[in-house]
Structures are given as structure tokens and as C-alpha cells.
Amino acid sequence: MVLQFWKMNGAGNDFILFDNRAGEVSLTPALIRRLCDRHRGVGADGIIGLRRCESGRADWAWEFYNSDGSCAEMCGNGARCFARFIQRVTGWARDTLSFETLAGVVRARLEDACVAVDLTPPTDLRLGLKLHLSTGPAEVHAINTGVPHAVLFVEDADRAAVSTLGPELRWHPEFAPRGTNVNFVQVLEPGRIRVRTFERGVEGETLACGTGVTASALITALQHDFASPVRVRVQSGDTLEVRFERRGDSFDTVQLSGPAEFVFEGRIEL
């Protein structure tokens, strides 16, 4: 079988997307890993398939896979790319649409190459966790923005120990059994932060992580009293924007916006 696919990226977070409305494509974990392999496959942080929404709760639905072959509940940058992908392959004419994910229904607004998505309400907020790491005691914050995230504030994100502390926190007993994504956050100035993310399922640093950017912005708003919006510079050098409505320590409306770009279209034998 030959799979027609599109390669996209959202602020450097890259994805393979394909149309599976007919339900003819079934991807095994081994096949997902091969397709995402940057030497032997297409290369991507994840794979997204377009499905019809059988529940009737949204316009469309997706199937999302991490590059290690596992399923993921949500991906912020993937969601923004997926919205533009729907517009291209289905001829969707409106500038708003919705799609169902394992984390709930996501709504998107399209403005040319920029896409804003309304994320599902964050859950499982835990502030000021005192953890013992290989480097010593550390204060870590946690929140679920569709998938779980840990946030660690650092003085200099460029010097953050992402490759060592990232996997250590990702598998820390505090976040057992499935682990967490890990964000290293540097406060630049009021309303602006710099974020590097070690992604669960990719098992390494990515150039951007939409749910990680969102988690970092919300935690910073709580810890440093930032107002909406918060602008976030990611490892690719791009900037994403997080808007929210805050009520005490909770958030009613959370929106992530930024670029979502087509890279190329291709075919690969499965």
C-alpha cells in the first residue's frame, strides 16, 4: 500500500499528516516509528490521521501518534497544523472548525498561515512540588494541558540540562506510571518567556511543544502574576502566544496561536 501524506510543522514541531476518512490505513507502532525515523523514513515528531467524527460532537476527528508509536491525547502544535490540513484536503470553506481528540473537542480559527486553537481546560494543577533530583533539591510545578507537563524555572534556558534532567523528570516517581513532559522555563520580561521542552513519546527535545508552551505560560502566570497574553519563544526561534482567562488558580479559556506551515507532499510505501 502506498500512503499519500503531507509534511507540516508548527514552530518547528513537525508532523506527518494523512487522510484516513475512508478508514483504510491502520498503523502499527513499528510502522509509526519507521515513518517518523529521520534517516529511514519521512521524519517527524508525530503522525496525525484525519477521521470522520462518529460521535457527532465535532466537525472532524483525529488519530494522533507520537514518534515512538504510542497514542497521545493531545498536541497543541499538531492541532494547529491539523486545522490547516483539514482546510486543504477537504475544501473546508469556513475559518472556524472543530475536531475530536482523546483529550476532548478542540476548536480552531484559521487566519492564513496562523492558526489559533482553543485548548481543553487544564487539569491536575500542582504547584511547588519539592523533588530531589540528581542535581539536588528542586521546585517543580505540574499541570495537564491535554497531556501532563512538569515546569522547572531556570535562569538561562540555553544552558538548561534538558538532555539529562529531561528524562530524569519525565520518569520521576512523582509522575508515575505514564510519566510527564518536561519544560525548562526562563522568564525574559513581563509577558515573555523562553521555553525548551523534553517531550514524552518523542523521548527527546523538540523544537517546540504547543501543550508545553501552554503549560509554561499558565504556570508562569500563576507564579509570576503574568497577565494574558504570554508570548513564548521556543527552541526553533519562533514565538507562540498563549491567551487565557484566569480565575484564581484556575483557567476558563485557553488559546494557543502561532504559525502552521506546509513543508511538502509525498507518497511512501507502507
CATH of the domain at 140: 3.10.310.10
| Model pTM score | 0.94
pLDDT (average), residues 159-163: 97
Q: How confident is the model at residue 154 (pLDDT cuts 50, 70, 90)?
A: very high
Q: For residues 146 and 189, state if they share a domain.
A: yes
Q: Is the Cβ–Cβ distance between 100 and 58 less than 8 Å?
A: yes
All three cell numbers of 196, joined, read 525548551
Q: What is the pLDDT of residues 26-51, one digit of tens each?
A: 999 999 999 999 999 999 999 999 99
Of residues 235, 228, 200, the one with CA closest to residue 214: 228
Q: How confident is the model at residue 182 (pLDDT cuts 50, 70, 90)?
A: very high
Average pLDDT, the chain: 97
Q: Domain containing 29: what range?
A: 2-119+260-269
Neighbours of 39 (CB within 10 A): 5
CA separation for the pair 262, 193 (Å, rounded)? 27
Q: For residues 209 and 265, state if they share a domain.
A: no
**The residue type at 202:** V
Q: pLDDT value at position 194?
A: 98
CA separation for the pair 6, 26 (Å, rounded)? 17
**Residue 154 DSSP class:** -
> Counting beta carbons within 10 angstroms of the beta carbon of residue 73, is it exposed (0 to 12), middle (13 to 18) or buried (19 or more)?
middle
Q: For residues 208 and 219, state if they share a domain.
A: yes
Residue 112 pLDDT exceeds 90: no
CA separation for the pair 81, 50 (Å, rounded)? 12
Residue 252 pLDDT exceeds 90: no
Q: Is the Cβ–Cβ distance between 42 and 33 less than 8 Å?
A: no
φ, ψ (nearest 5 deg) of residue 95 = -90, 5
pLDDT (average), residues 99-114: 94
Q: For residues 14 and 95, state if they share a domain.
A: yes
CA separation for the pair 49, 32 (Å, rounded)? 12
Q: For residues 170 and 224, state if they share a domain.
A: yes
Q: What is the pLDDT of residues 55-70, one digit of tens each?
A: 999 999 999 999 999 9
Q: What is the DSSP string of 4-62?
A: EEEEEEETTEEEEEEE-TT------HHHHHHHH-TTTS---SEEEEEEE-SSSSSSEEE
Active site residues: 75, 209
Q: For residues 112 and 156, state if they share a domain.
A: no
Q: How confident is the model at residue 113 (pLDDT cuts 50, 70, 90)?
A: confident
Total count of domains within the chain: 2
Of residues 58, 127, 49, the one with CA closest to residue 96: 58
Q: Which residues contact 122 (CB under 8 A, 6 or more apart)?
A: 143, 144, 145, 214, 215, 218, 251, 254
Q: What is the pLDDT of residues 189-207, one digit of tens each?
A: 999 999 999 999 999 999 9
Q: For residues 161 and 34, state if they share a domain.
A: no
Q: For residues 128 and 254, state if they share a domain.
A: yes
Q: For residues 207 and 114, state if they share a domain.
A: no
Q: For residues 98 and 207, state if they share a domain.
A: no
Q: For residues 74 and 145, state if they share a domain.
A: no
Q: For residues 208 and 238, state if they share a domain.
A: yes
